[in-house]
Amino acid sequence: MTPEAKLLQMGIELKPVPIGDRPLIPYVRSGNLLFLSGVGPNWGDKTWKGQLGKEYTTEQGYEAARGCALNLLSAAKTALGDLSKVKQVVKVLGMVNSAPGFAEQPQVVNGCSDLLRELFGENGRHARSAVGMAGLPGNIPVEVEMILEVT
Amino acid sequence: MTPEAKLLQMGIELKPVPIGDRPLIPYVRSGNLLFLSGVGPNWGDKTWKGQLGKEYTTEQGYEAARGCALNLLSAAKTALGDLSKVKQVVKVLGMVNSAPGFAEQPQVVNGCSDLLRELFGENGRHARSAVGMAGLPGNIPVEVEMILEVT
Amino acid sequence: MTPEAKLLQMGIELKPVPIGDRPLIPYVRSGNLLFLSGVGPNWGDKTWKGQLGKEYTTEQGYEAARGCALNLLSAAKTALGDLSKVKQVVKVLGMVNSAPGFAEQPQVVNGCSDLLRELFGENGRHARSAVGMAGLPGNIPVEVEMILEVT
């Protein structure tokens, strides 16, 4: 079953990501590596604003990180046309907007990592850092960037 | 017009970056990718010290990030001899020294990104994350690292 | 002398790093690049918990970063079998858990960088950023991730 078919079974349809006219763009391919810009958690009607350890619990952060994964996958599908061109998820950097003392960044970023594994199986397992930021754009709770190996 | 010629029109001359004798070096090339070390904003006579949302406004941060771009370009020119060997700006990580509550990291890092686009055109547009740090070396307000695809 | 022999002279033996069953894994190879997950400083009997500029001094942070290097090298050896397959240390991202006002991240991360140079010589010198985080998993003082070029 393709990643897209698995997502549809969960009731999720990825959305095209426009290139836009800003100096940054959602993805750049170099050789077999696809570098994806950092994205936030807003997905569907759900918007997020606040820090982990303050406005949000670790469980809520997990859900936010899952939203980041959906935005990253939307960008990857826009770049590739077809997610079965993803050969390997290489590297994830999960950045968690952390109030003083918050130390459960890995449990939060698992919301992204678990979905990647669910969709891509063994090839969805990846190198990762999950770390705490002092602030993120628009006060989103999580931002994730990713590198894929593609064919 | 070459990137160097465009810079000269702005009255800017890049400076050679010595390799130095520290364990870190300004750049490492692997295949067609040039990895540039994170650099700060100090350029010419201007030095920076402080956080965004405290000592500096977003507009000042934009100018600081432009200084980071000039330091990155100086390192790239030292590595390559000639900036027209830059095929594509692949990835930028913009790290903003952020006082509690500061959430305009993208507007700050645009000071770097806008200049890259100005110099390299479409090939200067890049994947990016712009995020908030709890501290940076010597309390500089911005640090930026970059990956280039080169020929 | 091989990196492993140099380590043995210092009384250090690297330990195998299991892949485990989590969605993240210690390393992913893509082409000639080996991407290593961010690791903490705990090594041997020594465990670390706290921030730089609060629970730990810069000198202690240097020792913690050295522990990160040993964990990274353990992962690299597990991936490669033999550290002489490391052609070049390409990129290090040193993330320092920083209390407000702490600005000596480079001096901390040198604990990792100095050891890499000691073991790999000129090929151990690398591009780097050393920056301050608001929090790290389990409140460790330092986390380091790394990219190697390998044969």
With helix as H, strand as E and coil as C, how does chain B read? CCHHHHHHHCCCCCCCCCCCCCCECCEEEECCEEEEEEECCCECCECCCCCECCCECHHHHHHHHHHHHHHHHHHHHHHHCCHHHEEEEEEEEEEEEECCCCCCHHHHHHHHHHHHHHHHHHHHCEEEEEEEECECHHHCCEEEEEEEEEC
Structural domain boundaries of chain C? 41-150
CB contact under 8 A, B127 and A24: yes
Residue A9 is encoded by which pair of tokens?
């079974």
CB contact under 8 A, C33 and B36: no
For residue C85, give the nearest of C1, C24, C3, C11 by alpha carbon. Answer: C3
- The predicted structure's pLDDT at residue C120: 98
For residue A68, give the nearest of A44, A43, A31 by alpha carbon. Answer: A43
User: Which of B25, B38, B145 comes nearest C125 by C-beta?
Assistant: B25
In eight-state DSSP terms, residue A11 is: T
CB contact under 8 A, C133 and B134: yes
List the single best residue of C17, C24, C131 to mutate versus A (max A Cβ within 10 A).
C24
List the single best residue of A28, A68, A129 to mutate versus B (max B Cβ within 10 A).
A28
CB contact under 8 A, C23 and A114: yes
For residue B145, give the nearest of B95, B96, B93, B98 by alpha carbon. Answer: B93
CA A34, A141, B132, C94 torsion-angle sign: negative
Contact list, A90 vs chain C (CB under 8 Å): 28, 30, 35
Residue B147 is encoded by which pair of tokens?
């990956």
Is residue A67 left, alpha or beta, with left meaning phi > 0 and alpha meaning psi from -120 to 50? alpha
Per-residue pLDDT of chain A (151 residues; tens, 9 = 90+): 999 999 999 999 999 999 999 999 999 999 999 999 999 999 999 999 999 999 999 999 999 999 999 999 999 999 999 999 999 999 999 999 999 999 999 999 999 999 999 999 999 999 999 999 999 999 999 999 999 999 9
- Cα angle: C140, vertex C141, C143; to 5 degrees: 80
CB contact under 8 A, B23 and C126: yes
List pLDDT tens digits, range C5-46. Answer: 999 999 999 999 999 999 999 999 999 999 999 999 999 999
**Going by C-beta distance under 8 Å and a sequence separation of 6 or more, which residues neighbour residue C102?**
B134, B135, C51, C52, C53, C54, C96, C132
List pLDDT tens digits, range C132-147. Answer: 999 999 999 999 999 9
**B56 with B96: CB under 8 angstroms?**
no
- The predicted structure's pLDDT at residue A18: 96
In chain C, what are the helix, strand and coil shares in percent, each to the nearest 5? 35, 30, 30
**A97 with A139: CB under 8 angstroms?**
yes
List the single best residue of A33, A52, A88, A91 to mutate versus C (max C Cβ within 10 A).
A91
Task: Kindly report the nearest CA distance between residue A17 and chain C, in angstroms.
Answer: 26
Contact list, C37 vs chain A (CB under 8 Å): 127-129
Whole-prediction pTM value?
0.98
Task: Kindly report the nearest CA distance between residue B78 and chain A, in angstroms.
Answer: 22
User: Which of C27, C37, C136 comes nearest A132 by C-beta?
Assistant: C136
- The predicted structure's pLDDT at residue B39: 98
- The predicted structure's pLDDT at residue B65: 98
For tokens 């006002």, the residue is C101
- The predicted structure's pLDDT at residue C115: 98
List pLDDT tens digits, range C88-143. Answer: 999 999 999 999 999 999 999 999 999 999 999 999 999 999 999 999 999 999 99
Annotation: CATH topology of A40-145: 60s Ribosomal Protein L30; Chain: A; (3.30.1330)
Contact list, A105 vs chain B (CB under 8 Å): none
User: Which of A25, A95, A97 comes nearest B125 by C-beta?
Assistant: A25
CB contact under 8 A, A35 and B127: yes
For tokens 């913690």, the residue is C64
CB contact under 8 A, C24 and A128: yes
For residue C95, give the nearest of C112, C82, C118, C80 by alpha carbon. Answer: C112
- The predicted structure's pLDDT at residue B142: 99
**CATH class given for the domain over B26-150:** alpha beta
Task: Kindly report the nearest CA distance between residue A42 and chain C, in angstroms.
Answer: 23
Give the Å distances, CA to CA, from A5 to A11, A14, A111, C40, C70.
10, 11, 20, 37, 42
CA B113, B115, B121, B124 torsion-angle sign: negative
Contact list, B142 vs chain A (CB under 8 Å): none
H-type alpha helices, C1-151: 3-9, 58-80, 105-120
Task: Domain C41-150: give its CATH superfamily.
Answer: RutC-like (3.30.1330.40)
CA-CA distance, B79 to A74, in Å (whole number)? Answer: 35
Task: Kindly report the nearest CA distance between residue C104 and chain B, in angstroms.
Answer: 6
List the single best residue of B28, B54, B146 to mutate versus C (max C Cβ within 10 A).
B28
Contact list, B128 vs chain A (CB under 8 Å): 24, 37-38
Task: Kindly report the nearest CA distance between residue A92 and chain B, in angstroms.
Answer: 12
Contact list, A138 vs chain B (CB under 8 Å): 103
Which whole number is the average pLDDT over C65-92?
98
CB contact under 8 A, B137 and C33: no
CA-CA distance, A148 to A143, in Å (whole number)? Answer: 17
**C26 with A127: CB under 8 angstroms?**
yes
Chains with ≥3 CB–CB distances under 8 Å to A: B, C
CB contact under 8 A, A38 and B130: yes
Q: Using CA atoms in the order B109, A131, C43, C105, what is the torsion angle rounded to 10 degrees? A: 30
Pairing label, strands B142-150, B33-39: antiparallel
